[in-house]
Amino acid sequence: MKIYFNGKLVERQEARVSVFDHGLLYGDGVFEGIRSYNCLVFMLKEHIDRLYASAQAIWLKIPISKEDMIKAIISTLKANKLRDAYIRVVVTRGEGDLGLDPRKCSHPTTFIITDKIVLYPRQLYAKGLNIVTVPTRRNIPEAINPQIKSLNYLNNILAKIEAITFNVEEALMLNSEGFVSECTGDNIFMIKDDCLITPPTTAGVLAGITRRVVMEIAPKLKLKIRESLLTRYDLYNANELFLTGTAAEIIPVVTIDSRVINDGKPGAKTLSFMSEFHKLTKIKGVKYAL
């Protein structure tokens, strides 16, 4: 397996970061998770824009241009002969000393891993997920803004641990005010009557790229779009619920906190979103040839 590492394609064993890298010592860095489908990197420009926006927000200058980052991603996919892949792009603050001061880190570390990912077993897409609301709250935007896709995922990992202890696959986090935010690696949507509803990014959620695609599909399914603050009560009384994310794509939710949604079956509109989404994975993005 070839890894892009600071400008070069190297073997996996050679792709090593320093124990002094602040990405490791402090979670000081940013990342993206991207997918390619049949030699098309889905929504690549949007992911690159978000990566650079995350970096800008943490005062990190990515050493290469957006165009070169796109080239680096494509050459890594080609070097690994991957048509369908999960792509992880990571930029850390780089090697520094044991203090926090980012000015001591003279050069960011950049690496790109291209591999496969299976987030949920296939049958869960047909059966739907059970999720629970967990005690851990989403970071407040005034601390680490959840719009920054940083290497600091401990907030989400704590929520995931709670989901695991409840014996379910995914955790729903509320924000500090008790409104619905998002799951540990996915945005959440509900359908009520003729409306598709999701929390606004100001509720403390990542501006998901899949979220954006789903909102583009909604008018085609004759649904109005609303971004509004939601409570657990709203979710319990939804007609349909689903999660969205690059790795998970669109996955139905059939119970939340043991409240059964749509008689415990994935909703018809959710299934339509899933099939429209798969059509878009064939056209929206940047193509490459192996």
Residues 132-161 that bind ligand PMP (CB under 6 A): 156
Which residue, 92 or 150, is less far from ligand PMP as judged by CB? 150
Neighbour count for residue 286 (Cβ, 10 Å): 16
Which residue, 105 or 174, is less far from ligand PMP as judged by CB? 174
CB of 188 to ligand PMP, least distance (A): 9
Confirm or reject binding of residue 201 to ligand PMP (CB under 6 A): no
Tell me, residue by residue from 33 to 72, as one string, x for binding to ligand PMP by CB under 6 A and - for no binding. Answer: x---------------------------------------
Q: Mapping DSSP to helix (H, G, I), strand (E, B) and coil, where does residue 227 land?
A: strand
Query: Which residues, 6+ apart, have CB-to-CB distance to 5 below 8 Å?
Result: 14, 15, 110, 111
Distance between first and last Cα of the chain: 15
The one-letter amino acid at 172: L
Residue 80 in contact with residue 1, Cβ under 8 Å?
Answer: yes
CB of 182 to ligand PMP, least distance (A): 5
Query: Which residues, 6+ apart, have CB-to-CB distance to 213 below 8 Å?
Result: 43, 244, 277, 280, 284
Instruction: Please provide residue 206's backbone torsions phi and psi, each rounded to the nearest 5 degrees.
Output: -70, 140
Q: Which residue in 211, 230, 240, 252 binds ligand PMP (CB under 6 A)?
A: 211
Confirm or reject binding of residue 208 to ligand PMP (CB under 6 A): yes
Q: Which residue in 210, 262, 270, 281 binds ligand PMP (CB under 6 A)?
A: 210
Which residue, 93 or 211, is less far from ligand PMP as judged by CB? 211
Which residue, 76 or 201, is less far from ligand PMP as judged by CB? 201
Residue 34 in contact with residue 73, Cβ under 8 Å?
Answer: yes
Confirm or reject binding of residue 95 to ligand PMP (CB under 6 A): no
CB of 189 to ligand PMP, least distance (A): 11
Catalytic residue numbers?
A: 149
Binding part of the chain for ligand PMP, among 87-95, 114-122, 206-214, 269-277 by CB under 6 A, reads 206-214
Confirm or reject binding of residue 173 to ligand PMP (CB under 6 A): no
Q: Which residue in 25, 174, 206, 241 binds ligand PMP (CB under 6 A)?
A: 206
38 exposed, middle or buried (CB, 10 Å; 0-12, 13-18, 19+)? exposed
Inter-axis angle of helices 66-79 and 44-57, nearest 10 = 120
Query: Comparing C-alpha atoms, which of 239, 230, 229, 244 is closest to residue 259?
Result: 239
What is the contact surface with ligand PMP in residues (CB under 6 A)? 33, 156, 182, 185-187, 206, 208-211, 244-246
